[in-house]
Structure 1
Amino acid sequence: MSSINRVPNEVWEGILSRLYPSQLSRMSMVNKNLNVIVSSLEVWPRMFHAAYGLEAQLRPLMCIPKAKSSYMIFMCASSLHVCEKCFGLTGYNAHKLYWLPLPIPVLLPRRSTDMIKYVGDRFEPNWTIQMCLLCRQGHISDLGEPVPRNVTNCSMAWVDLCDKYPCANEARGLFSLRRGNSFINELGAFNYMRRYFGGDIGIKAFKTSTEAYDAETETRILWYQRQE
């Protein structure tokens, strides 16, 4: 008998209730016992109703008698459009990828006294979770990110900034940081864009459409609906 099976289910439930949904989905693949425990957690129906509304109905799956198991499978199918922090749903046709939940590094302290650590200018995360734009903006404001080496603390022409960061023109309010008529501090502008687009990953995702994400989520949900 494995050590996992010797731990009472109540203890596992207490441990697993502290994890993010993406971590739970990984844990559910360890063995059948953990799959049953993870899929029966209250987080899945709570996540479903937070994303789709309190009146939303979930179609049960064939050969899965417990409805909570279906909630986990459906939410995993929807994971590209659901924030793991607030459980908010970003619908299809968002047009810009940075509006969707994107993976952002988070630290999972082993003790309450653990502090955030950087190695040089490289962030050392314990995990990445899917966060919507609003949650990423709050996360960046609270924790910050290391500044890339190619970002200077010098003034540069607005046209040069827009050439280097095509998203600059869409960041509302960035004009207020300009010095005079045509120059702006690059570091200040970069930090503003980082907050506006939800981190470095939001800046990089500016040019990317959501079409591929929408199509993949639709395929996943269609698979789910055909399991009856």
Structure 2
Amino acid sequence: MSTKKMRLRTRDQIDKRVPREIWEQILSHLYPSQLSRMSMVNKTLNMVISSLEVWPRMFYAAHGPKGQLRPLVRIPSFKSSYMMFMCASSLHVCEKCFGLTEYNADKAYKLPLPIPVLLPRRSTDAIKYVGERFDPTWTIRMCLSCRQRHISNLEEPVPRDVSKDRVDWYKLCKKYPCARQTPRLYRHNVSNIAIKEVDALNLMRQHFGGDIGIEASESSTEEYDEMTETRIRWYQLQE
């Protein structure tokens, strides 16, 4: 057998040569959405990832300690059913706190929405992030309260079209309709006090959980609900 073929075979089999405990330690540093991507690499990683404790823990956090979930007939491992169900309902589950957002929310910004996160350069006890700048290398779904806490430690860049000059309430609402839904901006409407546009943007970001929440502030949640119901029906058909 040629050296080239031996190298290829060794590289292909590396997932099987690494002990399961090592894989579990490595994978424990990833978010659920990253794990679901990793599970599609090959059968070995799928078996390891689908049996991780994070999936039943995520399920019970979202649905309560008495939540019931039957295993799928076509899936040999019981725990893999949790992974498939949580992936099916991921549009309504926060990846940070594992909280479940109920259906029929009046605004899309109240649902778990994808927000950029800084990824660690390498997995160590003292996690070191890639610089101090905003680096949207990955997005995870966070509920509104988690997004609000997240953006307090991660400053989003100010768009070029945002002015540092003061604007009145009418001009502000014309550019940002969601300003009417921001409590801390309401006093400017009552007292007719102008505010710097960049300051108003920061207040809206705090209230809606960043720019992604501002963009979703006027959106309907029906599409999210329908997509989640379709995914869960697909899951149920596998039983």
Q: CA 1:194/1:6 → structure 2, altered by over 3 Å: closer, same or farther?
A: same
Contact 1:95/1:210 (<8 A) preserved: yes
Corresponding position of 2:84: 73
Q: Where do residues 67-216 of structure 1 align in structure 2 (5 Å cutoff)?
A: 67-111=78-122, 112-114=127-129, 116-118=131-133, 123-176=134-187, 181-216=192-227
Secondary structure (helix, strand or coil) at the match of 2:139 reads strand
List aligned pairs for 1:36-75, cutoff 5 A.
Answer: 36-75=47-86
* Structure with the greater alpha carbon radius of gyration: 2
Give the CA RMSD over aligned residues: 1.6
Aligned residues: 224
Bigger mean CA offset, 125-134 vs 59-68: 59-68
- The offset of 1:125, in angstroms, is 2.1
2:192 & 2:149 partners in 1: Cα distance? Answer: 31
**Residue ranges of structure 1 left out of the alignment (5+ in a row):** none
Task: Give the Cα–Cα distance (whole angstroms) in 2 for the partners of residues 115 and 24 of structure 1.
Answer: 21
CA contact (8 A) 2:147 2:210 kept: yes
Q: Flag structure 2 segments of 5+ consecutive residues without an equivalent.
A: 1-8
Q: Are 2:31 and 2:140, in contact at CA under 8 Å, matched by a contact in 1?
A: yes
SS in 1 for 2:141: strand
Does residue 225 of structure 1 match 2:236?
Answer: yes
**1:12-66 superposed Cα distances (whole Å, 9 cap, x missing partner):** 0111111100000001000000000000000000000000111010022112232
Name the amino acid aligned to 1:46.
R
Amino acid across the alignment from 2:117: V
TM-score (norm 1): 0.93
Q: CA deviation at 1:7?
A: 0.7
Contact 1:107/1:127, CA 8 A, preserved across alignment: yes
Residues in 2 aligned to 1:7 and 1:143: alpha-carbon distance in whole angstroms: 36
Counterpart-to-counterpart distance in 2, 1:66 and 1:56: 19
| Alignment partners' CA distance in 2, 1:145 and 1:179 | 29
